[in-house]
Chains A and B, each alone.
Chain A
Amino acid sequence: MADAPQTVDLARAFADSGVGEVLAQLDRELVGLRPVKTRIREIAALLLVDKLRREHGLTAQPPTLHMSFTGNPGTGKTTVALRMADILHRLGYIRGGHLVSVTRDDLVGQYIGHTAPKTKEVLKKAMGGVLFIDEAYYLYRPENERDYGMEAIEILLQVMENKRDDLVVILAGYADRMDKFFTSNPGFRSRIAHHIDFPDYEADELAQIGEKMLSAQGYRFSPDAQAAFLHYINARMRQPHFANARSIRNALDRARLRQAVRLFERRDQALSIDDLMTIEAEEILASRVLDAPAAAKEPA
């Protein structure tokens, strides 16, 4: 028996870790975002295999998990980052599972000598968890050579390299500006293992997202409204300033306003719970987006 080649039960380890549940939840709650889910699946597999290797006395270096999320407005960068802390915690990669979300203001100081303590303070707070830097390209301002952003970048790079097992840094921003940011800071690009691009959503994905948003708020579409909403999305996607899921959220907020007005105007009649919950087609069709074909004005 002792001579038999040692076998490793990966399926069992997978079931024990509860990772499957995390991934299923991700699939359930986030619509689309295929590249993102694929990458998380890969990371989960690597962490699991690493754990098994460690248990069997093989060397397993903790992988670098710093990430950069790029994509257009409203594609879910911030939402996924917020999830990432929880996911990595449940995968056992980080100890804490808390997320510290910062922007340039929180890292860069206002006078000489102010930046380093400020950045270090933030980094200490994020240790054991995830540091999320939103709109990271603002850190670097090439037009001002005395800008203190560079100092913050240097400290960040140092910590990202030396304290890899203490924190995970996630940078997020719009694709074109992040590209410019990485070109001028090559050190950043090479220290980030995972560059994840968030694709724009398709119309049917947006419709799904809209329905999820509504049901989270205790509303639902009538069947007519559902069709009207898909029509609305198609019209809205062709207009300027389209911000994916964020535009959908704004559209739904406006639909809720109109629904409230409709209910209010017939306040002499009895209302059912169903009435309070249902958004009708007229609330969607009242949008200015639909009667202004590809006009360059903001929807009301």
Chain B
Amino acid sequence: MRLTQGTFSFLPDLTDDQIRSQIAYAQAQGWAVNVEYTDDPHPRNTYWELWGLPMFDLKDPAGVLHEINECRKVFGNSYIRVSAFDASHTWETVRLSFIVNRPPEEPGFYLERNEVNGRSINYTVRSYAAAAKPAGERY
């Protein structure tokens, strides 16, 4: 099951040129671009691992793309996303976030029904990959 999180996630994967244009847009807006990766892409897992530091000081997408490719070399089997943080007052939040790398196999998630208190049911979303294996061996 294909993971759909962040902007553009229902489109085909972005090519490097498209990623470059998106980063150029974010930089033109003055947002700090980050590269993040994880092997636990649960929808509630907001905090992915940060690759290096936020790139506040880069003015050109080439540097970010270089970092993305470095990250792909190390975590090619994980999810990698690019996020752009707007530090301006009253925003102070991530303005753009999209996936730039996904593992070849994506087993997806299942819905776990947990019967409690008689006929009540609690629902939980679990990832097949994260449920079966420890961190680092999932994809």
Contacts and interface: CB of A to CB of B under 8 A. Distances in A.
Interface of A: 95-96, 98, 123-125, 127-129, 163, 166-167
Contact of B58 (A95, A127, A163): A127
B61 interface: yes
B57 interface: yes
Contacts of A166: 60, 62
Interface string B41-69: 00000000000000101111111001100
Contact of B59 (A123, A125, A163): A125
A128 B57 contact: no
Interface residues of B, number: 10
Interface of B: 55, 57-63, 66-67
A284 B41 CA distance: 74
A167 B63 CA distance: 10
B64 to A, nearest CB: 8
Nearest to A159: B66
A148 to B, nearest CB: 21
A164 to B, nearest CB: 12
Contacts of A125: 57-59, 63
B62 A127 contact: yes
A98 B59 contact: yes
5 smallest A-B Cβ distances: which pairs? A128-B60, A124-B63, A127-B62, A166-B62, A127-B60
Nearest to B63: A124
A246 B8 CA distance: 55
30 contacts: A95-B60, A96-B59, A96-B60, A98-B59, A98-B60, A124-B55, A124-B58, A124-B63, A124-B66, A124-B67, A125-B57, A125-B58, A125-B59, A125-B63, A127-B58, A127-B60, A127-B62, A127-B63, A127-B66, A128-B59, A128-B60, A128-B61, A128-B62, A128-B63, A129-B59, A129-B60, A163-B62, A166-B60, A166-B62, A167-B62
Given A125-B57, A128-B60, 18 more contacts: A96-B59, A98-B60, A123-B63, A124-B58, A124-B63, A124-B67, A125-B58, A125-B63, A127-B58, A127-B62, A127-B63, A127-B66, A128-B62, A128-B63, A129-B59, A129-B60, A166-B62, A167-B62
